[in-house]
Homo-oligomer: A and B are copies of this chain.
C-alpha cells in the first residue's frame, strides 16, 4: 500500500484510476455536468469490464477529491463546482432603525409581473413542479360536494375542516395544537401582519434576522415600528448569542424569525437553537412570531419542529401558509396565535372579514386525501436539484470571488458579488428580460448592496441557464 501512495495517479497503474481519470475528463469537458447522476457501479463496471468493487473504489476516490458526492439511496452525483461559500456573518453593531425599503419594492414587484420577464426574483417553489391537475381535481370534487356552500362566507377564523387537517399535521410532528386555536388567514403575510399588530405598537423595536424576508421589513415600515437586525449565520440562521446581546441592549417588543429556513439565506436553524431562543424570549416575556412557511421544504426531508414546540408559555405565534408549498394564488395561510388568539381573530374580522372558503375546502380535501404529502415528496428533490444546478450555473457565469449560499431548503439562492451594485444590476437585468431581487430589500437600510436573491423555483430550462449567463455577464461588466 505504501507503494501505491508514491505512484503518481496520472499513470493509472491501478484499474480504478482509469475510472477516476475517465470521469474527471468527462466533467472537465462538460459531458458530465454538475448535478448529473453517475452510472451505477454495476452498469459502469460491466461496460468497462471492471468489477463492482473497483468502480466503487474509483467513486470513493472521486468523492474524496470532491468531484462527486453520494446521496443516500440515490447514487453518486457530480458535485457543483461552487463559487466560494458564503459564511461571513453580518456585523455585530446594530441599532434599531426605521425601515426604508417600500419604494424599491414597488419596482421589484412590478418587474415580477411584467409579461415576458424571466422571474428569478420571486420565491415560488411550487412552480418548479406545479400541482395543477391534482389541485384542480380536488377543487372540482369540492365544488360538486359543497354546491352553494362553497360560495358562502367562511367563519372569520376559517373552515373547521381545514383547521382539523392542519392540527393532524402538527400532531404527526408531535405537536399538540387545538384545531379551534388555528386562525386561517390571507396567506402568511396577513398572519404575520395580524400577529405583529397584536403584540407591538408604532415605534416599538422588532428584532429580525439579517438578512430577512422583505415582506417582514415592509410590514415593520408600514406599521411605523423599528427593526433591530440580529446577526445571522448563512448556515445556521439567527445567532443566539447575538440575540441575547440585543435583548440586553434594547427594549425589544417582539421577535420575527424564520423557524426553519431563512429567506434569503436558505440557512437552517438547528433545533437546539430554536429551543434556546424560545427559552431566552420566554424568560424576558418577549413574544416570538415565527415564520414557518419553508418548514415543509427542507431538503433532507426531516421536517423541523416549529419553535412553539419548545414553548412553555403562550407567547409564541406560529405563522405559515400554503403559498410556498402548493398554491400561492390561493392566499391561504394560518396562524397558531397562543395567548393572542382572542385579539387576533377580532383584528382579522375587522381588516378582512374572513378568508376564501372554496380554497380552504379545496386545501382540506388536498391534505385529507394524501395528495399534499405525495406532492411534497415529489417537489423537494426537484428543488434540491434546481438548487445545485443554479449554484453551478452561477459559479460558471458570475465573476470570480462571487460567494453563494448553500440552501438547506426552500427555493432561493443568496449571491454576493463583491463590488457590484445589485440595485443597478436589477435595473440592467430587467432591461435584458431578467428580474432578480436586489439584496438591499432584505435589510432595514444600507446593507447587502452587493447581494442578490435568485429563485430556482421554476422548472430548470435553457432559458434560465441563459438568464444566469446574462446576469453573470452584466455583473462582470459592472466590475
Interface residues in A211-266 by Cβ distance below 8 A to B read 215, 218-219, 221-223
Closest Cβ–Cβ distance, residue A355 to chain B (whole Å): 6
A154 within 8 A of partner (CB):
yes
A187 to chain B, nearest CB (A): 5
Bound-complex Cα distance A186 to B105 (A):
21
Q: Of the 9-residue stretches A20-28, A325-333, A433-441, which lies at the interface with chain B? A: A325-333
A97 at the interface (CB under 8 A from B): no
- Is there contact, CB below 8 Å, between B193 and A350? yes
With contact pairs A102-B346, A136-B143, A330-B356 given, residues A351 and B222 touching in the complex (Cβ less than 8 Å): yes
A190 adjacent to B152 (CB under 8 Å): no
Which of A124, A151, A154, A326 has the most CB atoms of chain B within a 10 A radius of its CB? A151
Contact A155 B349 (CB under 8 A): no
Task: Determine whether the beta carbon of B189 is less than 8 Å from that of A155.
Answer: no
* A127 contact set on B, CB distance < 8 A: 148, 152
Bin chain A's interface residue count.
35 or more
Q: Which residues 192-206 in A have Cβ within 8 Å of B in the complex?
A: 193
Known contacts A127-B152, A151-B132, A353-B186; is A222 also within 8 Å of B346 by CB? yes
Task: State whether A147 touches B122 (Cβ < 8 A).
Answer: no
CB pair A186–B349 under 8 Å, yes or no, is no
Complex Cα spacing A356 to B330, Å: 5
C-alpha gap A135/B346 in the complex (Å): 31
A357 close to chain B: CB less than 8 A: yes
State the CA gap A245–B115 with chains docked (Å).
52
What is the 8 Å Cβ interface bit string for chain A, positions 287-326, against chain B (1 contact, 0 not)? 0000000000000000000000000000000000001001
- What are the interface flags for A162-193 relative to B under an 8 Å C-beta threshold, 1 for contact and 0 otherwise? 00000000000000000000000011011001
Q: Which residues on the B side are within 8 Å of A193 (C-beta)?
A: 350-352
Contact assessment for B347 and A222 in the assembled complex, using a CB-CB cutoff below 8 Å: yes
Kindly list chain B residues whose C-beta atoms are within 8 Å of the C-beta of A143: 136, 139
**In the bound complex, do residue B153 and residue A351 qualify as a contact, i.e. CB atoms below 8 Å apart?**
no
Considering the complex, give the chain B residue whose CB is closest to the CB of A361. Answer: B329
Cα distance, A147 to B215, chains bound together (Å): 27
Extra A-B contacts (11), CB below 8 Å, given A153-B329, A190-B351, A352-B352: A124-B153, A139-B139, A151-B330, A153-B323, A187-B352, A189-B352, A190-B353, A218-B350, A331-B356, A356-B359, A358-B359
A-side residues, CB < 8 A to B, are 102, 105-106, 109, 112-113, 122, 124, 126-127, 130-132, 135-136, 139-140, 143, 147-148, 150-156, 186-187, 189-190, 193, 215, 218-219, 221-223, 323, 326-331, 345-347, 349-359
A sample of 12 cross-chain residue pairs with beta-carbon separation below 8 angstroms, ordered by A number, consists of A105-B346, A106-B345, A109-B349, A127-B148, A130-B151, A139-B139, A152-B328, A186-B331, A193-B352, A218-B346, A222-B350, A331-B354
